[in-house]
Amino acid sequence: MLTEQMWDVFCKENGIDSDTPYEAWQFGDDPDKLAQLVMEGKKTGTASSYDLYVLDPLEKLPEAGDYSIVLNSSNEPVCIIQTVKTYICRFTEVSEDHAKKEGEG
């Protein structure tokens, strides 16, 4: 299934306007493993380097309510997620709870 097809089906099933914006992306280190952890409900949080958003003015920080389509290593859609919360903190201040939500052990 193509990304656009998955989005259309998701929107129809959930009563969402198909013109609602979304991002499609894959996790950096191991897209297949991390996407699988999301599908299994083990990965419910993620983190990014804030500096990458600052350096690229076209990149916007995720906001609560944003939708994303998670892609595998072949750029095929795996699932759709919605951002619940976004916050900025130093790496040394990441909570144990957030680290557990990363789902990687």
- Reading the chain (105 residues) residue by residue, the pLDDT tens digits are 799 999 999 999 999 999 999 999 999 889 999 999 999 999 999 999 999 999 998 889 999 999 999 999 999 999 999 999 999 999 899 999 998 998 887
Can you give the pTM of this predicted structure? 0.90
DSSP-based helix, strand, coil % in the chain, nearest 5:
35, 15, 50
Question: Looking at residue 85, what is its pLDDT?
Answer: 95
Question: Looking at residue 105, what is its pLDDT?
Answer: 75
Tokens of 51: 């500096």
Question: Looking at residue 104, what is its pLDDT?
Answer: 82
Instruction: Report the C-alpha gap between 95 and 90 in whole angstroms.
Output: 10
Question: Looking at residue 103, what is its pLDDT?
Answer: 86
Tokens of 69: 């389509």
Question: Looking at residue 72, what is its pLDDT?
Answer: 97
The residue written with tokens 């699932």 in the block is 79
Helix (H) or strand (E) holding 77: strand 77-82
